[in-house]
Structure 1
Amino acid sequence: MSDLLIAMRTFVRLHEVPNFSRVAQEMHASHTTIARRLDQVEAHFGVPLFHRTTRRLVPTAEADRLLLHARAMLDALDAAEADFGPAKDQPRGLVRVGLTTALGLYYVERLGELAERHPGLQIDCAMTDWQRDVVEDRLDIALRVGPVSDDSLVVHPLGPLARRLVAHPDYLARHGVPASVDALGDHQCIAYAYGDMPARWTIDGRERLVSGLFRSDNSEAVHRAALSGLGIALLPAIRVAADMAAGRLALVLPDCVIAPLDIFAVHPSHRRLPPRARLVLDFMKAHFPASVCESV
């Protein structure tokens, strides 16, 4: 790839994440090399692209204008390489996917099928229950829970993700089985919540505050706490199906109504989705766990 193309890719990334050190680390280059590439783009087009201070890198109006051309050019190059290059018949390369913990673990267990069909793919899973910034974190695809109203993202509905109230049989033996939703207030509820935000469960159409001796902002930690007998947890059905079948967890209040989580896949609207990322998106759509959700 020519020096100018590399420099243009560097410029685009600097515009997305205006931080020399961050971009240098991502591109496995020195701070000096990144600065030199930016100088090359500025010299080529004859305009300043960033206001540089010791603390900040601020894009100029010219940088905003050039960004549109740069993205279009690089997208066209990527499309041409996909059409004529070795990836034409067998897409290959790295795909970065932002996944929630529960769905991420579900998909990881099924990636063998995708790897067997497309051995040239590399999947980098950025797995967290926090909502990642698609552009800043350089994600090709990311999952979102609930409606997405961001015009900068292309949205693909995946489906509803069912949830279940569960507890370890030993916990229920010690504390009793709640006979109604109102009785949850007398139990240890394992809260999935962030920071000091109150934990709320919506059951039978009514929102209820819940609390207990343990809470976490990670669904897998909540899952393991339930398996340890710390209380009643509200978890995705895909995480508890095997535990319920093996008797490690028991269903609590099976007749109550718990609305599923609507799951969407998103990717940036400003750039074309590469064929390798399209393969992963299609895999996620085809393997979304709707049947598991309905059967547990």
Structure 2
Amino acid sequence: MSDLLIALRTFVRLCEKPNFSRVAGEMHASHTTIARRLDQVESHFGAILFHRTTRRLIATPEADRLLVHARAMLDALDGAEQEFGPVRDQPGGLVRIGFTTALGLYYVERLGDLTARYPALQLDCAMTDWQRDVVEDRLDLALRVGPVGDDSLVVHPLGALPRLLVAHPAYLAGHGMPSSAEDLPGHQCIAYAYGDVPARWTIDGRERVVGGTFRSDSSEAVHRAAISGLGIALLPAIRVQGDIAAGRLVPVLPESHIAPLDIWAVHPSHKRLPPRARVVLDFLKENFPGERP
């Protein structure tokens, strides 16, 4: 690949993540090399692309204009390599996927089928409960929960993921089984929430504020707290079905209606989805554990 193309890829990453050190770490290059590549792009196009201070890079209007052309050119090159390269009939290469924890653990257990079908694939799973920035974190695909109001993303509906109220048998033995959703505020409810925002559960069409002695912004921590007997938790069905079958958890208010979570796969709208990511998207759709659209 020519020096200019490498320099343009570096320029695009600096626009997406304006930090020399972070881009240098990503590209396995020195800080000096990244700065030299940026100088090369500025010299080639005769424009100042960033204002540089001791702490940050600030893109200029010229950088914003060049970014559109650079992305289009690099995407076209990637597409041509996929179409005419030796793996055009067997997609391969690195695919970075942003997963939520519960769904990520579910899919990871099934990735063997995908890699057996496409042995040239490499999969990098970024698994968190908070939403990663698809562009900044260089994700080819990411999962989103609920409505996606971002015009910079292409959205693919995966389906609706059922949820269940569950608790450990020992907790229910000591505190009693709720007879209706009206009883929940009087119970220890394990809140999946961030900061000081009250946790709200919508059950049977009515929203209720719930709380207890334990809360977390990690669904896996909520799951383990429920198994430890700390209270009642609201979790995706795929995460607790095995625990219910083994007797570690018991369904609470199984006749109540709890709205499922709408799950979407997204990718940046400014670049075409390459074949290697397309087969992963198809795999996510085919193996979705809830109700498909």
Q: For this structure pair, what is the TM-score category when the shorter chain's length is used for normalisation?
A: over 0.9
- Residue identity opposite 1:96 in structure 2: R
Q: Which residue of 2 aligns with 1:257?
A: 257
- Residue identity opposite 1:254 in structure 2: P
- 1: CA distance between counterparts of 2:272 and 2:90? 18
- Residue identity opposite 1:209 in structure 2: V
Displacement after TM superposition at 1:210 (Å):
0.7
1:38 aligned to 2:43?
no
SS where residue 81 of structure 1 aligns? Answer: helix
Deviations 1:226-256 (A, max 9, x none): 1111111000000011111111111100111
- Residue identity opposite 1:146 in structure 2: G
Larger displacement relative to structure 2 (59-68 or 233-242): 59-68
Displacement after TM superposition at 1:93 (Å):
1.1
- 2: CA distance between counterparts of 1:280 and 1:166? 32
Q: Which residue of 2 aligns with 1:83?
A: 83
1:29 aligned to 2:14?
no
Superposed counterparts of 1:1-296, under 5 Å: 1-290=1-290
- 2: CA distance between counterparts of 1:164 and 1:90? 40
- Residue identity opposite 1:68 in structure 2: V
- 2: CA distance between counterparts of 1:77 and 1:85? 11
TM-score by length of 1: 0.97
Displacement after TM superposition at 1:56 (Å):
2.0
Deviations 1:133-159 (A, max 9, x none): 111111111111111111100000110
Deviations 1:45-85 (A, max 9, x none): 11111111112211112111111111111011101100111
Deviations 1:153-195 (A, max 9, x none): 0000110011000011111111111111111122111111011
SS where residue 83 of structure 1 aligns? Answer: helix
Displacement after TM superposition at 1:86 (Å):
2.2
- 2: CA distance between counterparts of 1:290 and 1:180? 25
- Cα RMSD for the two superposed structures: 1.1
- 2: CA distance between counterparts of 1:138 and 1:258? 34
SS where residue 238 of structure 1 aligns? Answer: helix
- Residue identity opposite 1:84 in structure 2: F
TM-score by length of 2: 0.97
- 2: CA distance between counterparts of 1:151 and 1:179? 44
SS where residue 279 of structure 2 aligns? Answer: helix
- Residue identity opposite 1:263 in structure 2: I
Displacement after TM superposition at 1:110 (Å):
0.5
- 2: CA distance between counterparts of 1:276 and 1:201? 39
CA contact (8 A) 1:177 1:252 kept: yes
Q: Identity rate of aligned residues, in percent? A: 79
Displacement after TM superposition at 1:87 (Å):
2.2
SS where residue 123 of structure 1 aligns? Answer: strand
- For structure 1, the residue ranges without an aligned partner over 5 or more in a row are none
Deviations 1:96-143 (A, max 9, x none): 111100000000010010011111111111101001111111111111
- For structure 2, the residue ranges without an aligned partner over 5 or more in a row are none
